[in-house]
Chains A and B, each alone.
Chain A
Amino acid sequence: MKKGAILCVQRARFFFYFFEEGEWKRKEKTPLEKFLLLKKAGPDDIRALKDALSRRLERIAQMVEILTSAHDDWAITTKKDYILLETETLDFTEAVKLLNAHGFTNDDFVLRCEYRRKWGMM
Chain B
Amino acid sequence: MTQQKTESSGGISELWKKEDWWAVWLGLGIVIVALILWASGGTIKSIAVSVPSYDQFSAVPAFFAQKIGGLIGLFVVLLAIFSIAVKLLGHSLKEFIPGFLILFLMAIVVQILGSWNPMKEYNLEAPVLALIIGMILGNFTKIPKWFDTSLRTEFYVKTGIVLLGATLPFTMIVSAGPIAFGQATVVAVTTFLVIYYAGTKWLGLDRRFAATLGAGGSICGVSASIAVGSSVNAESDHVSISIAMVVIYATIMVFLLPIMINFLGIPDGPAGAWIGTSEFADAAGMAAAAQISDKAVESFTLMKVVGRDMFIGVWCFILALISVTKWERREDNTKPDAKQIWTRFPKFVLGFFVASIIMTFVIAGVDPAAADTVNSDVISPVKTLRTWCFVLCFLCIGLTTRFRELARAGLKPFLAFTIGVLVNVPLGYIFSVLLLGDFWASL
The interface on chain A, measured as residues whose beta carbon lies within 8 A of the other chain's beta carbons, has a size of 46
Q: Are B396 and A120 in contact (CB under 8 A)?
A: yes
Whether B332 and A7, one on each chain, are in contact in the complex, defined by CB atoms closer than 8 angstroms, is no
Known: A11-B6, A122-B154. A115 touches B230 (CB 8 A): yes
Q: A33 in the interface, Cβ–Cβ < 8 Å?
A: no
State whether A73 and B4 are in contact (beta carbons under 8 Å apart), knowing that A7-B405, A119-B400, A120-B152 are contacts in the complex: yes
User: Nearest Cβ in chain A — how far from B41, in angstroms?
Assistant: 39
Q: How far is the CB of B199 from chain A (nearest CB, A)?
A: 16
Check B120 for interface membership: any CB of A closer than 8 A. no
B282-A106 in contact (CB<8A): no
Interface segment, one of A34-42, A48-56, A87-95: A87-95
Question: Nearest Cβ in chain B — how far from A80, in angstroms?
Answer: 14
Q: How many A-B residue pairs have CB under 8 A?
A: 139
CB-CB contacts below 8 Å: A94-122 with B? 96, 100, 105-107, 109-117, 119-122
Shortest CB–CB separation between residue B294 and chain A, in angstroms? 21
Identify A122's interface contact among B5, B233, B284, CB under 8 A.
B284
A115-B226, A122-B247 given as contacts; is B153 within 8 A of A77 (CB)? no
Contact of B397 among A5, A75, A122 (CB under 8 A): A122
Q: Contacting A86 at CB < 8 Å: which of B6, B243, B337, B410?
A: B6
Q: How far is the CA of A75 from the CA of B233 in the complex (A)?
A: 19
Interface presence of A19 (CB below 8 A): no
* Complex-state Cα separation, A10 to B233, whole angstroms: 10
Q: Which of A72, A110, A115 has most chain B Cβ within 10 Å?
A: A115
User: In whole angstroms, how far apart are the Cα atoms of A119 and B151 in the complex?
Assistant: 8
Q: Which residue of B lies closest to A99 (CB)?
A: B331
Q: Is A26 part of the binding interface, using a Cβ–Cβ cutoff of 8 Å? A: no
- Could you say which residues of chain B place their CB within 8 Å of the CB of A88? 5-6
> Do the beta carbons of B226 and A116 come within 8 Å of each other?
yes
User: Are B408 and A5 closer than 8 Å at their CB atoms?
Assistant: yes
Residues of A within 8 A of B283 (CB): 122
Inter-chain contact B240/A6, CB cutoff 8 Å = yes
Q: Within 8 Å of chain B (Cβ to Cβ): is A25?
A: yes
Residue with the highest number of chain B CB atoms closer than 10 Å, among A5, A93, A100: A5
Give the chain B neighbours of A96 by CB distance below 8 A.
Answer: 331-332
Q: In the complex the two chains form, is A122's CB within 8 Å of B401's CB?
A: yes
B230 contacts A24, CB within 8 Å? no
Q: Is the CB of B408 within 8 A of A11?
A: no
Contact B335 A105 (CB under 8 A): no
Q: Which 10 A-B pairs have the closest CB atoms?
A: A106-B333, A122-B283, A1-B237, A75-B8, A122-B281, A120-B151, A7-B240, A7-B243, A115-B226, A120-B152
Q: Could you list 23 A-B pairs, sorted by A, with CB under 8 Å?
A: A7-B239, A10-B236, A22-B333, A86-B8, A89-B5, A92-B233, A107-B333, A110-B333, A110-B335, A113-B230, A114-B230, A115-B226, A115-B229, A115-B239, A116-B226, A120-B152, A120-B154, A121-B154, A121-B397, A122-B154, A122-B157, A122-B250, A122-B283
Given contacts A75-B6, A77-B8, A111-B332, 11 further A-B contacts (CB under 8 A): A5-B405, A6-B236, A73-B2, A93-B235, A100-B331, A109-B333, A111-B233, A111-B334, A112-B230, A121-B243, A122-B283
